Structure 1
């Protein structure tokens, strides 16, 4: 279902077709005719599903996507018509939905930690901490994310995984841009500290194994 939605979304991307109707217009029409809101689901459900799957696992993500768009549908009357891109709004709703499943999210990170071997070399800790991505989701990073506060983790992952700007994150979470910056800096520092400490431990173990 989400793969089909992704293909439809890519075919109607504003980057490919300048005549594509923006999200605000679609949501505006859906206020009069609810059936039009399906276009918002088709356009954005794949991205929201990917985001949720990274945070709580694929099985739960299916249910949370449905919950996210149900909430969005119910709140569409209050949507700001000046915001042509609905992604920050949808990410904000999805993030609030995730917050109700914090334990599952942390279990997801720890599970990844349990099934992935610990690397011996962590010289790139600073780079990984600054650019958290799905591809970089290794065991140590999973541990680091699980240790962050919910608010700091929300900001870090919206910036790093979903590539939202500081302004978009502020809109999504309903906080000032300055707060986004401070939470992001704090999250990066804490993540870097965990990775650096783990790297030191790993290097120490390597020395012991080699008898030096």
Structure 2
């Protein structure tokens, strides 16, 4: 991290960062380490979780424009979380928390079942080489933990600029029994709550089309 990011972590982490009990790895979450969203945010409100939040551009914009909702940014890169905290402080945001941890473990072990209203997966690493495809986040296993964390009627929103990955995401979630499509046709309309980031502009300049998906958590009964 830069000196500024180091200072941000020291000064702002007590205010913004959730300390997750660890398992063996530095970014793991120990099973049974579940939090109470009401205790963390001090109220009962819709909870929106972004996994792979990067430097926080999307979730900062959302948290500032939706003060009635609560937000959690999940990221494994400390520098990105530090930048997110700096921007949150500058914007006076109070309804955002961050956790430095692996996303599937946050969904499986840290968040209570059926506690999440929306789950965002925007531009995850495409691991575009065939030999690396197995490292992709969105798999049948991820769909299962996402379904556990989402409340009935909750929405899983995804976006990517890699067509092959978009098709894999769609195949995985179409096959997941806990989800139903929240769109008609091949792809969902662009999610209005997703701001245009520099990362997205870079993909567009390279000629890659942005594809959105949205899936609704089926009722458990």
**Is the shorter-chain TM-score for this pair beyond 0.5, marking a shared fold?**
no
* Rg comparison, structure with higher value: 1
Higher normalized helix content (fraction of residues): 1
Higher normalized strand content (fraction of residues): 2
